[in-house]
């Protein structure tokens, strides 16, 4: 199957798994134009690797020093993408996943902006489970499934600690200062770039610090960027423009695809956008009618210490969220 046939097959797959969009699709050719642009940039960087190695080295150094111009920054990000995946022709996100993510972005962008004031809290309620390996009294390792249902109240400006409630018990969690991608506040999310390329650049730069070349991490920047975006999307309440940008940034990450028959921790079925890494598939599950994010889960594709192939290692579903005036209140 050649590239054109494979592309057509992906589009047919998308039409089978997706219902008619409740919001208008992008202008004709918009999604394809994005993909062609990304592929052409990667191809151009691949050719430039053998012709202008010194120039490319200077561009990377400029990124590290924070002195790259805007036009050059896009080139550097694409260069990092092909470099960290280990292959110049790594496949981009599939057509089916790009369509799901674009519909989710359109749905998010159509959401009315909630008025949020300093001193308020973001409330989120989730249900789900996580798996842990534990040593029993006989000294043998056994797999345990722990209930991870909780309610959480996070200060929108980071001025107060986060209140977390699990199994009826409250716990105060200190907010990192300043807020960051791993410990965000609503105000932090509102300040993120809404241009998908600029947003992914910032997320990838952060991923490079602990998961890039020279680190001991086996995750890699591409996978870590996907995980980080998923964590931010599960934050509960995120500005609509930021949410839309996060979905479109995810569509720029290589090897993002769709997964069939996805069920969240609340038993709701949906369409999943997924990425496979090291025998595990991370899935973001969307409502097929509203394009709203339902939850996330991690599924084993091959057996290991965590279970047999097909085991859902972790799963979390978003049940409720909103803005409240005090910690402990619900919307």
Name the average pLDDT for the chain. Answer: 80
Q: Tell me the torsion sign for CA atoms 248, 252, 253, 258.
A: positive
Ranking 67-71, 86-90, 291-295, 304-308 by mean pLDDT, the lowest is 67-71
pLDDT tens figures, 212-240? 777 778 889 999 999 999 999 988 899 99
At residue 64, the pLDDT reads: 29
Confidence of residue 141 (pLDDT cuts 50, 70, 90): confident
- Please work out, in degrees rounded to the nearest 5, the angle formed at the alpha carbon of residue 326 by the alpha carbons of 325 and 327: 135
Confidence of residue 59 (pLDDT cuts 50, 70, 90): very low
Residue 162 phi/psi, 5° resolution?
A: -80, 135
At residue 90, the pLDDT reads: 83
At residue 52, the pLDDT reads: 31
pLDDT tens figures, 242-265? 999 999 999 999 999 999 889 999
Do residues 157 and 165 touch, judged by C-beta distance below 8 A?
Answer: no
Confidence of residue 44 (pLDDT cuts 50, 70, 90): very low
Q: Residue 248 corresponds to which tokens in the numbers above?
A: 């479109």
Mean pLDDT for 293-303 is 95
Percent with pLDDT over 70 in the chain: 73
Q: Give the bridge partners for 324, in sequence order.
A: 121
Q: Which residue has the higher pLDDT, 230 or 64?
A: 230
Residues 6+ apart with CB under 8 A from 293: 104, 233, 234, 284, 285, 286, 287, 318
CA distance 226 to 205: 13
Using CA atoms of 245, 60, 222, 78 in order, give the dihedral in degrees to the nearest 10. 60
Do residues 151 and 123 touch, judged by C-beta distance below 8 A?
Answer: yes
At residue 236, the pLDDT reads: 82
pLDDT tens figures, 82-115? 333 344 578 999 999 999 999 999 999 999 888 9
Percent with pLDDT over 90 in the chain: 60
Has residue 241 got a pLDDT over 70? yes
pLDDT tens figures, 155-192? 999 999 999 999 999 999 988 889 999 999 999 999 99
Q: Residue 94 corresponds to which tokens in the numbers above?
A: 């599939």
Ranking 14-28, 59-73, 294-308 by mean pLDDT, the lowest is 59-73
Q: Which residue has the higher pLDDT, 54 or 181?
A: 181
Give the pTM.
0.74
At residue 89, the pLDDT reads: 75
How large is the C-alpha radius of gyration of the chain?
21
CA atoms within 13 A on the CB side of 286: 28
CA distance 319 to 149: 10
CA distance 172 to 163: 5
Do residues 80 and 204 touch, judged by C-beta distance below 8 A?
Answer: yes
Q: Which residue has the higher pLDDT, 185 or 68?
A: 185
């Amino acid at each position: 199957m050649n590239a054109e046939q494979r592309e057509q097959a992906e589009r047919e797959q998308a039409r089978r798994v997706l219902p008619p969009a409740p919001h208008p699709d992008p202008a004709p050719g918009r999604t394809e134009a994005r993909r062609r642009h990304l592929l052409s940039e990667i191809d151009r960087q691949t050719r430039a690797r053998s012709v202008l190695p010194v120039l490319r080295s200077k561009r990377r150094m400029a990124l590290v020093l924070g002195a790259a111009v805007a036009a050059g920054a896009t080139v550097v990000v694409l260069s990092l993408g092909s470099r960290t995946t280990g292959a110049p022709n790594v496949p981009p996100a599939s057509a089916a996943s790009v369509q799901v993510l674009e519909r989710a972005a359109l749905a998010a962008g159509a959401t009315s902006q909630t008025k949020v004031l300093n001193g308020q809290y973001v409330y989120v309620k989730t249900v789900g489970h996580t798996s842990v390996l534990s040593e029993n009294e006989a000294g043998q390792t056994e797999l345990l499934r722990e209930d991870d249902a909780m309610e959480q109240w996070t200060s929108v400006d980071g001025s107060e600690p986060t209140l977390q409630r699990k199994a009826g018990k409250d716990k105060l969690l200190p907010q990192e200062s300043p807020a960051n991608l791993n410990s965000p506040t609503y105000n932090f999310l509102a300040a993120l770039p809404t241009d998908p390329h600029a947003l992914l650049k910032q997320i990838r730069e952060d991923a490079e610090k602990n998961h890039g070349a020279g680190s001991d991490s086996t995750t890699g920047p591409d996978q870590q960027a996907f995980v980080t975006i998923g964590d931010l999307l599960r934050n509960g309440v995120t500005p609509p423009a930021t949410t839309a940008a996060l979905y479109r940034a995810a569509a720029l990450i290589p090897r993002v695809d769709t997964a069939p028959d996805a069920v969240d921790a609340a038993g709701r079925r949906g369409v999943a956008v997924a990425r496979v890494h090291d025998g595990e598939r991370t899935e973001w599950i969307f409502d097929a009618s509203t394009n709203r994010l339902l939850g996330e889960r991690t599924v084993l594709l091959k057996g290991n210490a965590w279970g047999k192939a097909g085991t859902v290692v972790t799963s979390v579903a978003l049940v409720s969220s909103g803005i409240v005036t005090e910690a402990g209140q619900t919307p």
